[in-house]
Amino acid sequence: MKTIIKNFFKILPFILAAWLISSCDNDDVVPKFTLSQASEDAAFSFSAADEYLISSGTMDNVAERFVWNEVDFGVQTEINYQLQGSIDNTFSAYDPTTEYDSGTLSVTNAEVKVSDLNNLATLLGLEAGDSGQVYFRARAFAGSGEGADAVDSYSDVMTLNISILEETSNEGPNCPSIWVVGAGATDAGWGWDSPIEFLCTDNVYKTNINLTNDAFRFFLTEGDWDSGQNFPFYVDEGYSIDSNFEDALDGDNNFKFIGTPGKYSLTVDTINKTIKLSPPEAEEPNCPSIYVVGAGAVDAGWGWDTPIEFLCTDSVYSMNINLTNDAFRFFLTEGDWDSGQNYPYYLAEGYTIDPLLEDAVDGDNNFKFNGTPGKYLLTVDTINKTITLGIPRAEEPNCDSVWVVGAGAVDAGWGWDTPIEFTCVDGVYSASINLINDAFRFFLTKEDWDSGQNFPFYIGEGYTIDSNFEDALDGDNNFRFIGTPGTYYLSVDTVNKIILLR
């Protein structure tokens, strides 16, 4: 036994040496873990619908929830997913910045909204009524999915058929009408033969109405005198009422119109609790047009290339018109100089003519505009025999809005909860605004105090500013309104550099 132990210790150094040599020969060997191809490819686990419809009213809706299987790459590492959408079924030029990209997901599903499909439809160049196809695929990848050794798996491409709906106006009435009768509503009078119906959309009642300086009342039910709602009723309900109306203080406390007689758009907003007058909305023409040419009509001039057409509804001609201090004339027939009707013609016919218009006393006795240059609604009423200038009718904006806040703008105040938006048409900003004797400021960007433009800014730019405004001489040199408090039409004309209050 002693001999065996003795011999073992003799050979032990050789065993240790051999082991050390072996260790040195393999000291660069590090265990390697290789990602294998997925044991199962990514695959959608649902079927697409036959068609996906796109409409403006459903943009926030979920068009489809894409669902796919979990993928195993054979190692214990994080598996992530991505849903891709493209207008190219090969995805050879897939651009995640402009096409659909879900981003990195840890789950095996993703929502695609109608707005996402609409974006792809836009890239395809589809318009209302068009149909097309867009394509989606799911991607599975380990870790970040990047690098030379990245391994991923793609599903088969799924085709979605999309169609953009041709939409019709949904602004039709969707709540019961109310009615107006009274001597102040010229076309109604105190009776039920011809009441003025106010159609209702989303609890807002609106119509064009001819008003004169007399009384009227609202009624919930046609023909029912007991359904009336008078001036105190709306005051008690907390309504803000246009300054052109007051309590008639007659036996029924009706509304009384105290403004300039004419046609207006009258709105009763039961959501925001306001009763407001604004320029009349365009109506369907039902009689022949007349035309205006002349240097005083800026967009026409003395020629027939661009005459101003005045559309006619119920024998009343009206149109927005850019006027400057020069002459113009009305014509019954486009292109016919002999069909002209000048200032003396209308006087002889018994018309009452707006004081901003006068006889040019030129060779043709044309009309001459003597007011502040700008855009006006010019109306020739052949029934009541009046020619009036008023606040221009609202037009489709084609430039960025500006905003007003300030204590002087009653409905705004010094905050961004209810700023007054001034929409822009051809470089002219305008809005109806309720003013009191206090300060306000214009802002180029909503909710951005640094975008303000104060009184000295416009002076420095060479603007002519309405005499109802002055420099507030406060810390910010805001505008201050010094006129009679009430509701006005305020316009900022960046073309002619005029700030005008009407």
DSSP 146-204: -STT--EEEPPPEEEEEEE--PPP--S--EEEEEEEBTTBTTTBSSSSSPEEEEEETTE
Domain identity same for 130 and 76: yes
Give the C-alpha separation, 82 to 65, whole Å.
13
- pLDDT recorded at residue 392: 84
Q: Give a yes or no: residue 157 inside a domain.
A: yes
Phi and psi, residue 205, nearest 5° = -100, 135
**Contact at 8 Å (CB) between 487 and 432?**
yes
Q: How many CA atoms lie within 13 A of 113 on its CB side?
A: 10
Position 23 pLDDT exceeds 90: no
**Among 349, 365, 390, residue at a domain's last position:** 390
Q: Give a yes or no: residue 268 inside a domain.
A: yes
**Contact at 8 Å (CB) between 317 and 291?**
no
**In which residue are the tokens 């065993």 written?**
15
Q: Give a yes or no: residue 20 inside a domain.
A: no
C-alpha separations of 167 from 49, 53, 89, 128, 491 in Å:
22, 12, 29, 8, 34
Task: For residue 286, give every residue at least 6 positions away whose Cβ sits within 8 Å of its Cβ, in sequence order, or none.
Answer: 312, 313, 314
Domain identity same for 376 and 291: yes
Give the C-alpha separation, 416 to 410, whole Å.
13
Domain identity same for 272 and 291: no
**Contact at 8 Å (CB) between 288 and 357?**
no
- Which tens digit of pLDDT belongs to each residue from 416-475? 998 999 989 888 999 888 899 999 999 999 999 999 999 999 999 999 999 999 999 999
Specify the higher pLDDT residue, 2 or 182: 182
Q: Once rounded to an integer, what is the mean pLDDT over residues 360-369?
A: 97
Burial of 101 (0-12, 13-18, 19+ CB in 10 A): middle
Q: Once rounded to an integer, what is the mean pLDDT over residues 15-20?
A: 49
Q: Once rounded to an integer, what is the mean pLDDT over residues 288-307?
A: 96
Q: The domain that contains 319 carries what CATH number? A: 2.60.40.3620
**b/e per residue 35-58 (b: at least 16 CB within 10 A):** eeebeeebebeeeeeeebebeeee
Task: For residue 350, give every residue at least 6 positions away whose Cβ sits within 8 Å of its Cβ, in sequence order, or none.
Answer: 385
Domain identity same for 403 and 496: yes
- Which tens digit of pLDDT belongs to each residue from 78-88? 889 999 999 99
Q: Give a yes or no: residue 271 inside a domain.
A: yes
- pLDDT recorded at residue 385: 92
Token readout for 502 is 């009407």
Among 203-207, 323-327, 329-333, 355-359, which is the least confidently predicted range?
203-207
Give the C-alpha separation, 185 to 195, whole Å.
9
Model confidence at 5, pLDDT cuts 50, 70, 90, reads: very low
Q: What is the percent of the chain where pLDDT is above 90?
A: 65
Task: For residue 373, give every residue at least 6 positions away whose Cβ sits within 8 Å of its Cβ, in sequence order, or none.
Answer: 298, 322, 323, 324, 325, 496, 498
Q: Where does 2-130 show beta strands of DSSP type E?
A: 52-54, 62-67, 79-86, 100-101, 109-113
Domain identity same for 160 and 56: yes
**Among 164, 192, 226, residue at a domain's last position:** 164
- pLDDT recorded at residue 144: 65
Q: Give a yes or no: residue 120 inside a domain.
A: yes
Token readout for 118 is 């609409």
Q: Give a yes or no: residue 4 inside a domain.
A: no
Domain identity same for 59 and 156: yes
With CA atoms as reference, report the closest residue to 61 among 111, 109, 8, 27: 111
**H/E segment holding residue 131:** strand 131-142
Token readout for 387 is 């020619």
Domain identity same for 56 and 150: yes
Domain identity same for 251 and 314: no
Domain that holds residue 148: 52-164
Token readout for 500 is 């005008």
Q: Give a yes or no: residue 304 inside a domain.
A: yes
Average model confidence (pLDDT) for the chain?
Answer: 88
- What's the one-letter identity of residue 44? F
**Contact at 8 Å (CB) between 444 and 474?**
no
- pLDDT recorded at residue 30: 40
Q: Give a yes or no: residue 24 inside a domain.
A: no
- pLDDT recorded at residue 394: 74
**H/E segment holding residue 124:** helix 114-124
Domain identity same for 299 and 377: yes
With CA atoms as reference, report the closest residue to 245 among 221, 269, 211: 211
Q: What is the dihedral sign for C-alpha 70, 71, 74, 79?
A: negative
**Among 117, 135, 164, residue at a domain's last position:** 164
Domain identity same for 260 and 362: no
Domain identity same for 296 and 252: no
Domain identity same for 144 and 225: no
Model confidence at 148, pLDDT cuts 50, 70, 90, reads: low
Domain count, the chain: 4
